[in-house]
Structure 1
Amino acid sequence: MPHATEANPPGDIPDNQAFVPFSPPAGGYSVKIPEGWARVSGGTTTSFTDKLNSIQVSTASAATAPTAGSVIKSDVPRLRAKVPQFTPGTATSVTRTGGTAILLTYQGDSSPDPVTGKVVRDAFERYTFYRAGMRVDLTLSGPTNADNVDPWRIVSNSLRWL
């Protein structure tokens, strides 16, 4: 009996996606990102995109480790001003292979498609890691209806301090 064809919603990252390590020129950390995604770097931020999904990695100096409360107090207002139709979710402490992180969930609208002008509602997972005065913000986003739980777990568990 033949297997049913898998119907993936728009933005669903395939289960067979290969991942490759990325480390910025300044070093400090590495993280796995999906192979073949477009990369744009500027300052301390590098973004990777493919179709409707995005990964953004930013670094900053920080005197102390973030808490759920500090992320809500300092980061949410900046995101609200930057992300169209921002809707906050929750901020919680989570454990990943690279250590403890603050996970901030939220939703917002994508930038308009340059060809069609279409806007997609995105779900965001933003992990804030901290070590020895360095903060790494790892932001994963894709359409709210996409099933990216497994790929996002691979990426968020792949952060390694160098």
Structure 2
Amino acid sequence: MTHVRTSAVVGVVLVAAVTAGCSGGASHSAPSTSSTTHANSSAPGGGAPTETNPPGDIPDNQAYVAYQPTGGFTGFTVKVPEGWARTANGTTTAFADKLNRVQISTVSAPAEPTVGSVTNTAVPQLRTQVPQFANPKVTTVQRKAGSTVLLTYQGDSAPDPVTGKVVRDAFERYAFYQQGHEVDLTLSGPVNADNVDPWRIVSDSFAWR
């Protein structure tokens, strides 16, 4: 009788041990599965929100206002984005917001700019003025004001006064000319920004008075 009881007790103990082992293995595997799922959701392409507007993109609902200089040569108007900060330095006026900029400069010119004159004069000047100046391309394009010489290029922005960060910018420089007066309209923003439509609105709005 004693032998039978001992065997029974051993059997119960073995069953309990096996049951506990199986139960412990199950509870250990669950956190592992949960941890893997969490890691996948935070990986690139997972559940992170997508940035719809890259830095520098001008909003589609941006409003524009007409700008007409009040000093120097005043014989033209051009639309600029409403609400942008305005600065003036001599015959140059600029409008800027975050990473984008519209610059308007007026000069006296004895002859109308050509692809050759911009290539031989403006490009070398900008090469000395714009950090990391690169990829200049000079063409003739049509805008509502007529034919104009367009110079596109890239360069580094001035360092941010707070963070010191430098942005790689793309530039469009339009040289409008009439009766001895040249107006250089330069539009700039980050190279990855999609500002084709806003820049077309501004450059197409230029008009002589």
What band does the TM-score fall into relative to the shorter chain?
A: over 0.9
Residues 28-47 of structure 1 aligned to structure 2 (within 5 Å)? 28-47=75-94
- Code of the aligned partner of 1:142: G
Verify: 1:91 aligned to 2:91, yes or no: no
Query: What's the TM-score, normalizing by structure 1?
Result: 0.95
Structure 1: gaps (5+ residues): none
Superposition map of 1:1-162 within 5 A: 7-26=52-71, 27-162=74-209
Structure 2 CA distance, aligned partners of 1:6 and 1:106? 27
Instruction: Give the CA deviation at 1:88.
Output: 3.0
TM-score (norm 2): 0.74
1:21 maps to amino acid: A
The answer (yes or no) to whether the contact 2:158–2:166 under 8 Å persists in 1 is yes
The Cα RMSD (Å) is: 1.3
- 1:55/1:138 contact within 8 Å kept: yes
CA–CA distance in 2 between the matches of 1:6 and 1:119? 21
**CA positional deviation for 1:60:** 0.5
Runs in 1 of length 4+ with deviation above 6 angstroms? none
Q: Does the 8 Å CA contact 1:76/1:88 hold for their aligned counterparts?
A: no
SS of residue in 2 equivalent to 1:93: strand
Equivalent AA in structure 1 for residue 141 of structure 2: V
1:99 & 1:7 partners in 2: Cα distance? 35
Whole-Å separation in 2 of the counterparts to 1:8 and 1:156: 23
User: Identity across aligned pairs (percent)?
Assistant: 66
Is the Cα contact below 8 Å between 2:78 and 2:205 reproduced in 1? Answer: yes
Pick the structure with more helix per residue. Answer: 2
Give the C-alpha shift of residue 6 in structure 1: 7.1
**Residue identity matched to 2:107:** A
